[in-house]
Structure 1
Amino acid sequence: MRNIIVNGFEYLKKLESKIAFYPTVYSLFGVIFAFFMYYVENKGISAYLMDHVPLLVINNTATAFNILTTFIAGLISIMVFSFSMVMVLLNQASSNFSPRVLPGLISNKRHQKILGIYNATLLYCIFTMVSIEPDGDKYQLPGFSVLLAIVLMVVCLGAFIYFIHSISQEIQVHNIMQRIFSEAKNRLDKLITSEKNSSNKFPETEKWTTFKSVSTGFLQDIILEPVLEFAKNNECKFHVLAVKGQYVYKDKPLFKCSMKLEAEALEDVLSFFQFSRDEVIDDNYVLGFKQITEIAVKAMSPGINDPGTTEIAIDYLTELFEKRMQKQDVSILQHNNDSLVKINTVSFKTLLFFVLAPIRTYVKHDVVVVIKLIHMLNHLAFNVNSKNNSYVNAIKVEASKLFEDAKGAISNEADLKLITQHLSAFNL
């Protein structure tokens, strides 16, 4: 039962990120509200208001038809324009920045809710217009429902103005990188907090039983609480071999266990590993590094040639690496000071290499951006309090690679001398 609830929650979380989720939900509310108002009108609310507050009721059938017809036509036009703007946004983001940023833009709840408001109001107007009887008298006309349609249309106009403002901000590269940075940083903060009282001590796992994956896809998430509870209840330990965010193939090693698991227990444990064809920053901070790196590389491509964007991306990467240096390379989950679950993660050295390697390739000829990278490495190596010497050594190795690439691409002696001065702290 617990597994069904957990999997159901994860499914709803994925469903919520789809672009059609909120428009569908809001549309259902619009239809339900239209039928509710039809029920209320049959109870005589318009007749009551006509006698007591006539200003709140539209009492002319032709006027009501004209208002609702105009609203329906106008809403369709607004919806077409809004959806077109969303498609332009996604196309421009994919072309100028990276296709990886699309899921984050699509899952923008504000835009989804605005489209949902359009749909709900449109459906409400349609059902309200259908309920009008052309030959009915003023007491049969759903005048109050028409007034509510006017109010909802005013809300739609306000939402449309906000939509134009929001989407014009959303396409700016600074805001895209800020969103990616914030999501990755929040994920890192959670992981660092969870490791505060953990220990690095864990038994050797070479002789443990290895269990293979039954699915193919990105290891999007590992639901850790039930894994830890399972290990505690069954007096066993786990070593998760696959790295979160890694593309795992079927029948490849997924995890090890200190005891053999029966078929039913194995099925329970495997259900805690969530596979997907999509990657989400909220579940995997490494994707944040990848997306910002791809934006930096794309900005330095000949077709775009925007070193300013690359420098901003390096600033964001510097802060993310600074945060990453506070995290351990291996995560250990404990219960009562007993280490029960070991989780392999992308090491700092590997992450630093996969971020800097493509950037070095594209910026090695640009003195200003190379110096910006050197400042990043200097900051991480000498200004960040890190108790892990392997992190500092990895930074020095990358500084050496950057210097070699710059020497091969830059022929100006004055520029090389300037780069050497900035790298003097590394004693290369």
Structure 2
Amino acid sequence: MDRLLNFFKHIRSKIAFFPSIIALGGLVLAFLLIYLESINISSSLIDVAPFLVIDDTDTAKTILSTLIGGLISLTVFSFSMVMVLLNQASSNFSPRVLPGIISDQKHQIVLGLYIATILYNIFILISIEPTENEYQTPGFSVLIGIILTVLCLAAFIYFIHHISQSIQVGNILTAIHTRTKSELATIIENQKNKNLDFPSTEHWEAHKIDQGGYYYGLLKDDLLELCEKNALKIQIPLHKGQFIIDGTTSFFTEKPIDNNLKNKLEKTMLFSHIELIGENYIYGFRQISEIGIKAMSPGINDPGTALNTIDYLCSLFIDLMQKKDIEYLTDKDSLNWVSQKCPTFSEILYNVMATYRQYCKHDITVMRKLMHMLKTLKLHVIHSDQLNIIDNEITQLRQDAKAKIMNKRDYEQLETDYFSWS
């Protein structure tokens, strides 16, 4: 079941998933209406509500042909706009935001509605027989096609509104921040009141993996079942998003195991040849910081966006400090069977700060904002190690500011309370 859910999750993220399902629905509806027309539903409606039924074959064919041509043009235009949106997002923000835009469910539903309506109208048009005296034109089916086309026009208006909102950097940052914060909240909630006991892995047996790619997680239920069944505890030294090459040590076991069990354990580890953005909260920090750094490039020159990204990062770091550095797979009796390495608060904070210091150390407003973020984090530390980590970053920030900010007055403002004027 765990493997099936993982497969469905990846299929669900593809841009063709919803369009394919909705298009299939359009085909089913077309065949249903063709069947209803075969039992003279249009004739029955003419007796009850004649104004709802188109009773002229040539008129029906003309309407359906016009609707099909118009919808094809509308579809091409709409998704030409999507391509422009993707190009602009990649150029102005970061290529890593593209998967989130591509997998937007609203875009997929609009595309699916277009295709479903086109297919419906095509099959209804094909079903219209040559004009005969006793032939009943499928007027009701044509009416349904007109209604679906009107819905497509309404969807197009919504699509224009939504796409104009999607390209705004504030909405992109908010979406990344919300998703990452939710992922962290789930992990933190799962770690509450969890037993942290786990034996030392110093002399455990190492096992190398025979495949490569980006490691992005586990089939947790399957792995936990194998561990319980074989009374085997495992330690995984890999962290999500890490690129693995053949021959890398993938896990340690507390006792020797045979090749059959080793292969089963390896199958519970998930790898991909591409980075799966959104599968890992680390990508949230990376995406937001990349948008901030891109905004500081000479071609874009948007320090306001860089300042906004620091606000979002500050919020995420406060949550990250509440997360423990090791994650465990635990059974219903609160016994830990698997421990997994996670990027630590120190590593993530350093990577973010090193990037900003490299590209923003000449800008006093951004440096002040970074200093303000670090001082804010000091107010939310959970233990003393985090305080030492933040103090070390503050020291590094001061050193870079002193080396790059030549104006004495500007440098003196580095430590003052930050006031946002944007």
Q: TM-score, normalised by structure 1?
A: 0.94
Residue identity in the other structure for 2:209: S
Percent identity among equivalent residues?
Answer: 44
Alignment of 1:1-400 (within 5 A): 5-137=1-133, 139-335=135-331, 336-381=333-378, 383-384=379-380, 386-400=381-395
CA distance in 2, matches of 1:139, 1:174: 59
CA distance in 2, matches of 1:312, 1:276: 32
CA distance in 2, matches of 1:71, 1:12: 34
Preserved CA contact (<8 Å) 2:206 2:249:
yes
Preserved CA contact (<8 Å) 1:93 1:171:
yes
CA distance in 2, matches of 1:281, 1:389: 32
CA distance in 2, matches of 1:139, 1:259: 79
Preserved CA contact (<8 Å) 1:187 1:282:
no
Kindly provide the CA deviation profile for residues 235-273 of structure 1, in whole angstroms up to 9, marking residues without a partner as x.
Answer: 121101111111111220111111222233222221211
C-alpha change, 1:137 and 1:122, in structure 2 (3 Å) is farther
Structure 1 unaligned segments of length 5 or more: list them: 424-428
Preserved CA contact (<8 Å) 2:368 2:415:
no
CA distance in 1, matches of 2:260, 2:117: 49
Query: Once the 2 structures are TM-superposed, how far is the Cα of residue 332 of structure 1 from its aligned partner?
Result: 2.7
C-alpha change, 1:57 and 1:418, in structure 2 (3 Å) is same
Residue identity in the other structure for 1:330: I
Structure 2 unaligned segments of length 5 or more: list them: none
Aligned residue for 2:250, secondary structure, equals strand
C-alpha change, 1:289 and 1:361, in structure 2 (3 Å) is same
CA distance in 2, matches of 1:202, 1:9: 29
CA distance in 1, matches of 2:90, 2:337: 42
Between 300-309 and 192-201, report the one with greater CA deviation. 192-201
Preserved CA contact (<8 Å) 1:280 1:287:
no
Preserved CA contact (<8 Å) 1:331 1:344:
yes
Aligned residue for 1:105, secondary structure, equals helix
Query: Once the 2 structures are TM-superposed, how far is the Cα of residue 138 of structure 1 from its aligned partner?
Result: 7.1
Residue identity in the other structure for 2:212: T
CA distance in 2, matches of 1:199, 1:397: 31
C-alpha change, 1:137 and 1:295, in structure 2 (3 Å) is farther
RMSD, aligned CA: 1.5
Query: Once the 2 structures are TM-superposed, how far is the Cα of residue 183 of structure 1 from its aligned partner?
Result: 0.9
Kindly provide the CA deviation profile for residues 167-222 of structure 1, in whole angstroms up to 9, marking residues without a partner as x.
Answer: 00000011111111111111101100111122333211121111222321111121
Between 31-40 and 155-164, report the one with greater CA deviation. 31-40
Query: Once the 2 structures are TM-superposed, how far is the Cα of residue 125 of structure 1 from its aligned partner?
Result: 0.5
CA distance in 2, matches of 1:11, 1:113: 21
Query: Once the 2 structures are TM-superposed, how far is the Cα of residue 17 of structure 1 from its aligned partner?
Result: 1.1
CA distance in 1, matches of 2:159, 2:210: 43
Residue identity in the other structure for 2:352: V
Preserved CA contact (<8 Å) 1:217 1:248:
yes
C-alpha change, 1:97 and 1:59, in structure 2 (3 Å) is same
Kindly provide the CA deviation profile for residues 378-399 of structure 1, in whole angstroms up to 9, marking residues without a partner as x.
Answer: 0001x21x33221111111111
CA distance in 2, matches of 1:27, 1:282: 27
CA distance in 1, matches of 2:384, 2:206: 32
Query: Once the 2 structures are TM-superposed, how far is the Cα of residue 166 of structure 1 from its aligned partner?
Result: 0.4
**Structure 1 counterpart of 2:408:** 413
Query: Once the 2 structures are TM-superposed, how far is the Cα of residue 419 of structure 1 from its aligned partner?
Result: 1.3
Kindly provide the CA deviation profile for residues 281-340 of structure 1, in whole angstroms up to 9, marking residues without a partner as x.
Answer: 542100000000000000000110100000110000000000000001112333334332
CA distance in 2, matches of 1:126, 1:369: 57
Preserved CA contact (<8 Å) 2:2 2:221:
no
